[in-house]
Amino acid sequence: MHPAWLVLWSFVAVILLGYLLLSLPFATTGEADRTDLLFTAVSAVCVTGLVVLDTGSDFTGFGQAVILVLIQIGGLGLMTFSVVLFRWIGRGISHKHRLVMQNLFSQTPRRDIYSLVRGILQLTAAVEAVGALLLFFHFLHYFPPKQAAWTAVFHSVSAFCNAGFSLYPDSMSRWAGSFLLNGSMMGLIIVGGLGFPVLYELRGKLRGTARRMSVQTRTVLITSAVLIVAPAVIFALIERQALADMAWRQRLLAPVFQVVTCRTAGFNTIDLGSLSDATLAMMMALMFIGASPGSCGGGVKTTTLAVLTAFTASRAARKKRVNMFKKSIPEETVFRTVSLVLLGLAVAGVTFFLLLAREELRHAALGTAHPFLPLLFETFSAFGTVGLSLGVTASLSLWSKCWIMALMLVGRVGILSFAYIIAGGGAQRGLEYAEENVMIG
């Protein structure tokens, strides 16, 4: 089995197991539709956060715990946990398993996969523990200690894994002015979205074991910073009238928090329905870009944007090679970058067309207007495994929910992995004919 197939089936297996656990009578507070339970399992494992049931009220403590475990497994990947499991029971790691881990963490040392995975799990546990402690101090002002602890742990794991699941229907809106909550959540989201290869290298840099930062790490850090600062300023300028009615803390925190969370996480501190179309368009672009490679988030990734930008600049300057930080990017990487963006746009476009066609027929039968912009927003949110919505998720038809579930799975596994699964591996040279030019542009 090729690593791409292995990753896909591991996610499918966890989804089915999660669905069975959520289908137990004591997992929900009342009767729940089977499709909605499957949708919840897919959203949790794909760390998306799109919900058709309220996590805090429709699920019991057991159901919430199942969702939390699904988020953690989906964020780190079943392959990561299985490495530790095999080591614990005394079994070796197969060659295919090693290939999967090397594909996921291609920028990290490969000599000892177990040490790498152990470091990732230790780093994850440490960051989530610190985040949960900070959130506990915040929630302790509003809830009893036991409830505050559970709420802190749930949201810490959900934020670090960029899942976007919240125990409250309004997400974080009621605490839009809290520096402690906003700072803790944004810190968890940013760290979780940088990618484990970058975190692994930064840890080595702090310990003095890494001499210099790789092009991968520099690209991720700079691109992530630009995608936070620039959109936050644009957000504040476009929505200045809406922000004018808020307290100064909310005016300061809301643009930054919403920009950080809309790339991969899916939390919100303001009503998305009140935002202008220009802001929503910018948010869809950020959702399409997503997080960084080797992270818990989806999208086409920050490095893809950076390489594509460098490629465009080099072609505009009539340069043959794409250079970044005094290093030349392999042509194969540039070709994969362009293919990834085109495939991502194609998959999102086809899914949106299918959603629009189905919902337009259903709304025509009901005599209501079909939600064009909310469906487009929903499509990019599912592809980027973000979880933000304009309120149409629960009202989607059965087929539309199935398309959204499929898109979430594609976004989490990776568009190039799915391209391999569909087309197969082993690129063939094919026939070569006499060249003839074609006008473009």
Structure confidence by residue, pLDDT tens digits, 235-262: 999 998 878 888 888 889 999 999 999 9
- pLDDT at position 341, please? 92
Question: Is the pLDDT assigned to residue 83 strictly greater than 60?
Answer: no
Closest CA to 390 of 405, 398, 380: 380
* Predicted pLDDT of residue 179: 94
Q: Which H or E run includes 323?
A: strand 323-324
Give the best-scoring range by mean pLDDT among 84-88, 95-99, 311-315, 412-416. Answer: 311-315
How is residue 293 annotated by DSSP? Answer: T
Q: Provide the pLDDT for residue 348.
A: 94
Q: Which residue has the higher pLDDT, 304 or 109?
A: 304
What is the model's pLDDT at position 112? Answer: 59
What residues have CB less than 8 Å from 243, skipping those under 6 apart? 236, 250, 251, 254, 255
pLDDT for res 76? 80
Mean pLDDT across 250-277: 90
- Whether the Cβ atoms of residue 263 and residue 290 lie closer than 8 Å to each other: yes
For the cut 50, the answer to whether the pLDDT of residue 89 exceeds it is no
Return the number of other C-beta atoms located less than 10 Å from residue 90's C-beta: 6
Map residue 3 onto helix, strand or coil.
helix
CA-nearest of 22, 13, 88, 80 to 55 is 22
Q: Name the nearest CA neighbour of 393 among 32, 48, 16.
A: 48
With a cut of 70, say whether residue 418 has pLDDT above it: no
pLDDT attached to residue 200: 79
Mean pLDDT throughout 51-58? 92
Question: CA–CA separation, 215 vs 218, rounded Å?
Answer: 5
* Stronger pLDDT, 23 or 431, i.e. the higher one: 23
Over residues 302-318, mean pLDDT: 91
- Using the predicted structure, report yes or no on whether residue 181 has a pLDDT greater than 60: yes
For 331-388, how does the pLDDT look when each residue is reduced to its tens digit (9 = 90+)? 888 988 998 899 999 999 999 999 998 888 887 777 677 688 999 999 999 999 998 9
Report the pLDDT value the prediction gives residue 204, as an integer from 0 to 100.
Answer: 79
Residue 210 reports pLDDT greater than 60? yes
Most confident of 84-98, 304-318, 425-439: 304-318
pLDDT number for residue 430: 63
What pLDDT was estimated at residue 265?
Answer: 87
Q: pLDDT band for position 425 (50/70/90)?
A: low
Q: Which residue matches tokens 């025509």?
A: 364
pLDDT at 438: 81
**What's the mean pLDDT in 270-295?**
91
Residue of 104 and 206 predicted with greater confidence = 206
Cβ(419)–Cβ(340) below 8 Å? no
pLDDT for 432 beyond 90: no
